[in-house]
C-alpha cells in the first residue's frame, strides 16, 4: 500500500497487492472518501494510515457496486453517494450472493482450496454489515465542498453503474475500474465495446493524474494499451465465432493480444468471458 498526495489535499491510496485503490479529498466541509475497500477492517486500516477519522468524512462515493469498492461503507454515517444502478445492484446482491448464508458458503467453498485465505475472510466478514448508498444520481452529479469542486460522470462499461470522479482544480481523475494497470481487467459484468469507447473519452479530461481502480497511477500509454487489448481481443473472438469455432479452438489461437506478462489464467478467462458474452448475443460490432 502506498499513500500518494497527488495534489494538495488529494490522496490516492494505491494498493496493487491488497485490492482496489481508494481516494481521500480534504475540503473545508470535511473529507470525501472515494470507495471503501472490501471489508470494514480493511477500510479502517486505510483511514488510520491516512490519519482520517470516520466522523470527519462528509461524503462517501461508491464508484460502482463491486464489493471491493463498497463493503467498507458501514464505517461512515455521512451521505453515501452512488449511481442509481449501483444501489439497485447492491440491493439485488443483498437478496442473493451477499446474503450472510451465501457469504458463509463462499468462504467454506474457498476453504477447500485455500484454508488460510478462508480464515482471513471469515474473520473480516464477522462484523460485516453491508450498507447501501443513501443518495443516488443518474447521469451526472457535481458538488462544491468548501472550495473543492467534485464531478461524477456515469460511464458504465466495466459495470453498468460505473462512475468516474473528476477534480477539476487538481486535474485529478479517479477512473475506478475503467482502468486496471499491471493486471487483466475484470470483465464478468462488462460491456466490452462500451468499455473501448469509454477509454477513448478519458483523454478529453486532459488530466494531470489518473488514478486507476487497480494498480499504480497510470499514463496515457496504459490507457491506450488497455483499449488496444480489449478491442483486439473482442475483434478476434468475433472472428472465431463468425467462423463457427468452438471455445477451445478459439482459446488455442496464439494471435490474441496479451495485456500483462504471465497471468495466463486471467488472459484465457477473459477470452472465455468475451466468447460467452458474444455467444449470448451481445453486440459484436465495435
Start-to-end CA distance of the chain, whole Å, equals 37
Q: Are the C-beta atoms of 133 and 87 separated by less than 8 Å?
A: yes
Query: Judged by CB under 5 A, which stretch of 116-124, 170-178, 250-258, 275-283 contacts Zn ion?
Result: 170-178
In whole angstroms, how close is the CB of 189 to Zn ion at the nearest point?
8
- Between 177 and 222, whose beta carbon lies closer to Zn ion? 177
Q: Are the C-beta atoms of 154 and 83 separated by less than 8 Å?
A: yes
**Candidate residues 65, 66, 87, 89; the one interacting with Zn ion per rule CB under 5 A:** 66
| DSSP code per residue over 16-77 | TTTSS-EEEEEETTEEEEE---SSHHHHHHHHHHTT--GGGEEEEE-SSS-HHHHTTGGG--
- Between 58 and 157, whose beta carbon lies closer to Zn ion? 157
**Candidate residues 177, 191, 222, 231; the one interacting with Zn ion per rule CB under 5 A:** 177
Rounded-to-integer distance, Cα 213 and Cα 190, Å: 15
In whole angstroms, how close is the CB of 71 to Zn ion at the nearest point?
12
- Between 187 and 207, whose beta carbon lies closer to Zn ion? 187
In whole angstroms, how close is the CB of 170 to Zn ion at the nearest point?
24
In whole angstroms, how close is the CB of 266 to Zn ion at the nearest point?
14
In whole angstroms, how close is the CB of 162 to Zn ion at the nearest point?
8
Binding residues for Zn ion restricted to 67-126, rule: CB under 5 A: none
In whole angstroms, how close is the CB of 48 to Zn ion at the nearest point?
24
**Conformational region of residue 100, where left means phi above 0, alpha means psi within -120 to 50, and beta covers everything else:** alpha
Rounded-to-integer distance, Cα 50 and Cα 155, Å: 29
Q: Are the C-beta atoms of 136 and 83 separated by less than 8 Å?
A: yes
Q: Are the C-beta atoms of 210 and 175 separated by less than 8 Å?
A: yes
Query: Judged by CB under 5 A, which stretch of 33-41, 116-124, 175-183, 229-237 contacts Zn ion?
Result: 175-183
According to the binding rule CB under 5 A, does residue 191 interact with Zn ion? no
Size of the site for Zn ion (CB under 5 A): 2
Which residues contact Zn ion (rule: CB under 5 A)? 66, 177
Amino acid at each position: 500500500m502506498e499513500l500518494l498526495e497527488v495534489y494538495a489535499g488529494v490522496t490516492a491510496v494505491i494498493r496493487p497487492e491488497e485490492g482496489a485503490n481508494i481516494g481521500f479529498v480534504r475540503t473545508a466541509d470535511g473529507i470525501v472518501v472515494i470507495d471503501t475497500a472490501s471489508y470494514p477492517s480493511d477500510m479502517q486500516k486505510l483511514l488510520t494510515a491516512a490519519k482520517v477519522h470516520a466522523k470527519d468524512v462528509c461524503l462517501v462515493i461508491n464508484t460502482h457496486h463491486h464489493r471491493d469498492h463498497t463493503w467498507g461503507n458501514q464505517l461512515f454515517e455521512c451521505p453515501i453517494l452512488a449511481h442509481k444502478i449501483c444501489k439497485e445492484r447492491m440491493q439485488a446482491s443483498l437478496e442473493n450472493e451477499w446474503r450472510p448464508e451465501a457469504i458463509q458458503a463462499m468462504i467454506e467453498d474457498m476453504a477447500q482450496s485455500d484454508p488460510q485465505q478462508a480464515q482471513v475472510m471469515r474473520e473480516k466478514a464477522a462484523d460485516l454489515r453491508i450498507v447501501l448508498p443513501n443518495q443516488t444520481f443518474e447521469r451526472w452529479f457535481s458538488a462544491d465542498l468548501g472550495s473543492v469542486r467534485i464531478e461524477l460522470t456515469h460511464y458504465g462499461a466495466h459495470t453498468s453503474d460505473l462512475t468516474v470522479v473528476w477534480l477539476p482544480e487538481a486535474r485529478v481523475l479517479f477512473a475506478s475500474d475503467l482502468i486496471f494497470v499491471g493486471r487483466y481487467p475484470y470483465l464478468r459484468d462488462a460491456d466490452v465495446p462500451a468499455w473501448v469507447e469509454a477509454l477513448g473519452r478519458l483523454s478529453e479530461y486532459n488530466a494531470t493524474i489518473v488514478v486507476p481502480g487497480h494498480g499504480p497511477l497510470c499514463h496515457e500509454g496504459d490507457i491506450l494499451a488497455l483499449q488496444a487489448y480489449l478491442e483486439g481481443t473482442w475483434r478476434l473472438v468475433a472472428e472465431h465465432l463468425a467462423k463457427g469455432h468452438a471455445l477451445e479452438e478459439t482459446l488455442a489461437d496464439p494471435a490474441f493480444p496479451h495485456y500483462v506478462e504471465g497471468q495466463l489464467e486471467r488472459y484465457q478467462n477473459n477470452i472465455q468471458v468475451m466468447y460467452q458474452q458474444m455467444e449470448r448475443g451481445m453486440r459484436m460490432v465495435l
